[in-house]
Structure 1
Amino acid sequence: MSQPQLQPTSTGTVPINEPNERLTSSKQFLRKLAKNKAAIAGALIVTVFISLAIFAPLIAPHSPTTMNIANKLQPPSAEHWFGTDDKGRDILSRLLYGSRISLTVGIVSTILGAIVGIVLGIVAGYYGRWVDSLLMRICDVLLAFPGILLALAIVSVLGASTTNVIIAIAFFAVPTFARIVRGSTLSVKKLEYIDAIRAMGATDGRIIFRHILPNIVSPIIVQSTLYIASAIITAAALSFLGMGTQPPDPEWGTMLSQGRSYIRQAPHITLFPGLVILVVVIGFNLFGDGLRDALDPKTKKS
């Protein structure tokens, strides 16, 4: 990581070439990202599904909750492109509306977990000593449990609902983000220009928010993108087990659970929700891998 040139001000020091350096870094990032075909494919998949979730009421051909027993278990046709489920509901419409729930759970839980993890990680990395030891030992305890088991335990206590699923997934995201941010903070804190800023009287808050946090954004963005995919899978697993979003809400995991009894008679009920989860998760993983490669300082000159 290159150290910016500094000039004194009344409130501390700021890099004198910071705007130009940021513009150059942004151009390099976009250039590297554009060269990564897998990342572009992932970004396209993510963009398409987010757009479908936003415009679901305009795109969905039928109501996602209206039952028509006379049309139950219908195979894909011109009227119902993905067929109907055991209650005669249009599967395509339910998948479109279900994207709102699944993507919301994945994105919101990741944001909440990242916010708490960033705060804990910066505090632990910047202040060190007993604060670092205490926070990291708590993180170690949480990381000792498999994520899905910890989420199951939390949802079992709080009750089965979409909101509680978000809380549970966000909770076990905290130690992961905290450890990543702590490691990055320790690296940036050792740079000479941080010592110069502190020597000129800058407060801890200014050093953290103006100089450390902007320099550790890259790993946070990458981890957030990758974690959304994991959060979507976890939310689907909880709903599949009956601990997440409850019927008749069209959540992808719930749709999988409801269709497993008809997997021989009407395999399309589980096929399409499973494919949708697979494609979305692959999209976020490809995009996250592309971001990691584009933001890696070791490959900036490649």
Structure 2
Amino acid sequence: MSDHATDPATETFVAHRNLLFTVAYEMLGSAADAEDVLQETWLRWVKVDLGQVSDQRAYLVRITTRQSLNRLRTMKRRREAYVGQWLPEPMLTAPDVAEDVELAESVSMAMMLVLETLSPTERAVFVLREAFDVGYEEIAAALDKSPAAVRQIAHRARQHVDARRPRKAVSSRETRAALESFQRVLETGNPQDLLDVLAPEVVLVSDGGGVKRAALRPVIGAEKVARFMIGGLSKNNHPITVAPTVVNGSPALLVHLDGEIDGVMAFRVEDARITGLYYVRNPEKLSRVESETPLTLR
């Protein structure tokens, strides 16, 4: 693409690249697959007669959506063979993502997991409508459905998501305070202090991809989560360091073992306590936690 820097197709694609990546990532939960979708989008875009396209941004979003849906079906088969729990690929995000409340919520680990419970079509409609404010007519064109059908799908998906999303928005400051307490607990290894920061109904989901130690099923309840975390630390004979970071627009913790990245912990916080703990240890999913990935809804 760099050889054609003055080409109108290239200029338009580059101008909207961050938007297209965000669309694909929210639909797939995988940065690697989102990049593949962008490559496929580009290959189709360069064959388009731009003179026949009235809204180039909408056209690019349409191509990206269709390619993402194709990729989702392939990923479903891949997920069925995945060892243990699957979590979205975490990404280090710029401060402006955290400052954009709407964007931060739409790419948060908690929301990405909720989106995983939707069908591919429901996910596409919800993401395009709720996150990117795409019109029903435009979504209908992207999905080859009628606007009326899209409205019904959007309503169904919204109800599904609303029943599972956090009850109220939590500020980054409140989340950061809970994480600071959690970090101190990890450093001291005091089980009681850990119970104080965990909500009674807390759920821990850990993703090792069959490569790193992780719970094969969600761990539910404060005492069980505390035992899992403290037990894992006590069995480890290597020095562990935990540092604050910002992943998917929200405060998170980056875990190092012997100076190497071992995993990322993302959180869902409600009423100053941790209700969801998402621990990604699969090495294949940790390539985007050291350099920022630009995201945008516009």
Structure number with larger C-alpha Rg = 1
Q: Same fold (TM over 0.5)?
A: no
TM range (shorter): under 0.3
TM-score (norm 2): 0.26
Structure number with higher helix proportion: 1
Structure number with higher strand proportion: 2
TM-score (norm 1): 0.26
